[in-house]
Amino acid sequence: MGGGGGGAEEGVEEPSMVRACIVRAGGTNCDGETKVALEEAGAEVELVHFRRVLERGLRGCEVLVIPGGFSFGDRVRAGAILGKELAGRMLSALKDFVEDGGAILGICNGFQVLVEAGLLPGFRWGEVQAALALNDSARFECRWTYLRVENGGKCLFTRGMGRGEVVRMPVAHAEGKFLFPAGREREYLRRLLEKDQLVFRYCDGKGRPAGGRYPLNPNGSFFDIAGICDPTGRIMGMMPHPERAVFGWQLPDWTKGESPPLWGDGRKIFSSLVKELR
């Protein structure tokens, strides 16, 4: 990728661009914002229809992103059709991709897809071990939420943040209630915590857990879970939308201060990803 001006010093190799692939399907509607967010962080981005991904695989790609929206109209369940397509036709290829150093990010509908495909929480590869169910409010929730970073450094998407840090991002979903199988909640939560896979929890502005209280927890998620990663830390899914909180002017109260913030908290996720892959 060329650029104007001086260029690299002689004998110093410039870092290569991180190459990201954003999957499109009928109903996805956040691919454009996600592309802008990744490009701002320094990635080279391609929007690819999922049929082409199935045909050509992930050659030349270091990051696979499944964006928000309503893939295939969320028929059957949110994310179910795309999740089963990926699991049925690319499960081994996705495992190889991650083991070779690739990363996968699922945002909102993308999180639902990764859960349906058996990639998250990923205790056993390809086995569905969680669900994202209908919100307790039984309606579409579109609001800004506070999140507390719970990950201690395993997740490459949050290495630019500190454990306990409070960030703010919006949610926009009807099926975001994270659940483990009935009767196995404590066992699976223990495994999630032991493996440092809990990434985000809904909280209040001071970082205190939401405790299931609406609207701090907008969907009724178990243990206020808003985002998790797999045991490798290279696959992450989250219900809030970081691509809608990259620039200061996207924030709901950006006009209140004398000097609006330049960036939003969502930028940290994309910047951390690109930095780690470089």
- In the prediction, which pLDDT does 85 show? 95
Point out the catalytic residue in the list 33, 62, 150, 243: 243
Q: How far apart are CA 266 and CA 278, in angstroms?
A: 19
Tokens 């490459």 belong to residue: 156
Is position 154 within any domain? yes
Is position 13 within any domain? no
- In the prediction, which pLDDT does 256 show? 86
pLDDT along the chain (278 residues), means of 10: 44 74 96 98 97 93 97 94 96 97 98 98 97 98 98 94 97 98 97 97 98 98 98 98 97 86 96 96
Percent helix, strand, coil in the chain, to 5, is 30, 25, 45
Q: What is the count of structural domains for the chain?
A: 1
List, as one string, the DSSP characters of 162-198.
-TT-EEEEEEEES--EEEPPTT-HHHHHHHHHHTT-E
Q: pTM value? A: 0.93
- In the prediction, which pLDDT does 15 show? 60
Is position 110 within any domain? yes
Is position 12 within any domain? no
Q: How far apart are CA 272 and CA 278, in angstroms?
A: 10
- First and final CA of the chain: distance in angstroms? 15
Query: Does the annotation mark 241 as catalytic?
Result: yes
- In the prediction, which pLDDT does 258 show? 78
- In the prediction, which pLDDT does 168 show? 98
- In the prediction, which pLDDT does 14 show? 56
Is position 242 within any domain? yes
Point out the catalytic residue in the list 21, 61, 108, 155: 108
User: Strands 177-179 and 131-133, how do they pair?
Assistant: antiparallel
Q: What dihedral do alpha carbons 253, 258, 262, 265 form, nearest 10°?
A: -40
- In the prediction, which pLDDT does 148 show? 98
CATH of the domain at 35: 3.40.50.880
Is position 223 within any domain? yes
Query: Does the annotation mark 39 as catalytic?
Result: no
> Which residue range(s) make up the domain with 56?
18-277
